[in-house]
Chain A
Amino acid sequence: MMLPLAAGLAARPAAGLQIDAEPNCLSRESAEGFRSLGVAKHSRAILLCGVSAMDTAQAWRLRRQAAAGRWIVWESSPFAGEGQTRTLREVFGISTGTPIALSPDRLYVQYRWPAAALTRSFCAAIPVTCSEKEAIALYGKTPVALRRAIGRGGLIFLGSMLGPNLRAEDSQARSIGAGILLSGTA
């Protein structure tokens, strides 16, 4: 059973990288991958690894933190359900679709930002509706990741897990991961 993220986000300090992982192997491996980038002390992101579900109250707290200047990096689990879809829509106005099963003919997700690079897609990719400008990664022609400003910060939604690729030492993924975690620090 997938458990929601630990409900400790509200009581966190206002600076430094915060990483929250669900108590399942996929989410933990992702967190380990992001930690291995070694940029934690320079990042001000709030990183949610492999999210499968989140209640709306918690999501609203995140939104307020984004408005105040933090960047929320929301990495979706490929096994996320309707709970995540509803929360993203209600709180962030983001529409996600049914996960796209990966085709053996297309192994990679094409990132445009923070670096133009290919990374392995992970199990499935969750399509997201967004403007051309907001889309930061495509699977084929379908946006699967976006970057949206909210007040003085914003939200980065990753519809294909990146953390496990970081742990697997994918060098292109690592350049993307570091850029994402350093969002808003320049």
Chain B
Amino acid sequence: MKKSIGDTIFPKGVTFENGLDMLKRGRYDGIELWLGGREWFQMSTTDAQLRELRRKIEDKGLKVSNISNTLDWQENVSSRDPSKREAAFRHIRRQIEAAQLFGTDAILIVAGLVTLDTPYNEVYHRTVESLKTLAKDAAAAKVKIGAENCCSEQKFLLSPREFGAFLKDVDSPWVGIHLDVGNIHDDGFAEQWIEMLGPHITRVHLKDVLRHRGRCGHQSVYTNIFLGDNDWRAIRDAFTKVGYDGWVIAEMERRYHYAPDQQIYDTAAGMDRVISGRL
């Protein structure tokens, strides 16, 4: 397995280059880039600027593990508003282009948002249809789309069986699941998701979770690796069981109040223990 972490972890005010130095110090293998996250990677960022970012990453001996986006929460493929849906298509297609520019083969999206006024069945059909369309772009670019399981936040695809049926309906080898082992809190057990969806996993997010507590942001249920209620031995064994040996990417939601760079190093150490199975 190779370890990576998102560029959104870089402490505020830190330059891209200095952030990369921190990853290097933490002995990461790669970086996850978030479209829409930090100033260096927005929809307005040009190809030439992205190539410059790639050069900086490679100069540090790192690779890009995958391209994610922060935009799906505002512009989703399941939106009723055609302009928002089109915007979602645009930024996902930009992710695919960026993946090619950075030499990686996976992107992360949040596909489908169920809300009070956009009911589940409507979201389901629209999301399947959208992904069937985007799968053609992905296939042409040889980049896999990983739909993340943000179960509780999306109110969508709440169980591994349901997620499996969804992927079957999309019916493309270019669309799978970007599995977040911390996002399964009120609704199941991460190791069972791994077992059931193993061959469809494109990338993995690692974080821990405090079950039945709070929500996002600073009230988050999410916490640092080993501080929550995830069964890390079972999770590691399940990855072995299904033969997943790809990128694992830390996604720390709640941040250290002091010494924010230390969270990068502490997370790296925890990931090393998960990867090596010394638990």
A residues in contact (CB < 8 Å) with B: 104-108, 117-120, 169-172
The 7 residue pairs across chains A and B that have the minimum distance between CB atoms: A118-B241, A107-B234, A105-B233, A108-B237, A172-B241, A108-B241, A107-B237
Chain A residue at minimum C-beta to C-beta distance from B241: A118
Beyond A107-B237, A108-B237, whether A172 also contacts B231 by CB under 8 A is no
User: What is the predominant secondary structure among interface residues of chain B facing chain A?
Assistant: helix
Please name all residues of chain A whose beta carbon is closer than 8 Å to the beta carbon of B231 when the two chains form the complex.
104
Contacts of B191 in A (CB 8 A): 107
Q: Which residues of B contact A (CB under 8 A)?
A: 191, 195-196, 198-199, 231, 233-234, 237-238, 240-242
- Residues of A near B242 (CB, < 8 A) are 171-172
Distance, CA A105 to CA B240, complexed state (A) = 15
In the complex, which residue of chain A has the Cβ closest to the Cβ of B164? Answer: A169
Q: What are 25 inter-chain pairs, A to B, with CB distance below 8 A?
A: A104-B231, A104-B234, A105-B233, A105-B234, A106-B233, A106-B237, A107-B191, A107-B234, A107-B237, A107-B238, A108-B237, A108-B241, A117-B241, A118-B237, A118-B240, A118-B241, A119-B241, A120-B195, A169-B196, A170-B195, A171-B198, A171-B199, A171-B242, A172-B241, A172-B242
Give the residues in chain B near A104, CB-CB below 8 Å.
Answer: 231, 234
Min CB distance A171 to B, Å, is 7
Contacts of A105 in B (CB 8 A): 233-234
Closest to A105 in B: B233
Cα distance, A56 to B199, chains bound together (Å)? 45
Please indicate the chain B residues that have their CB under 8 angstroms from the CB of A106 in the complex: 233, 237
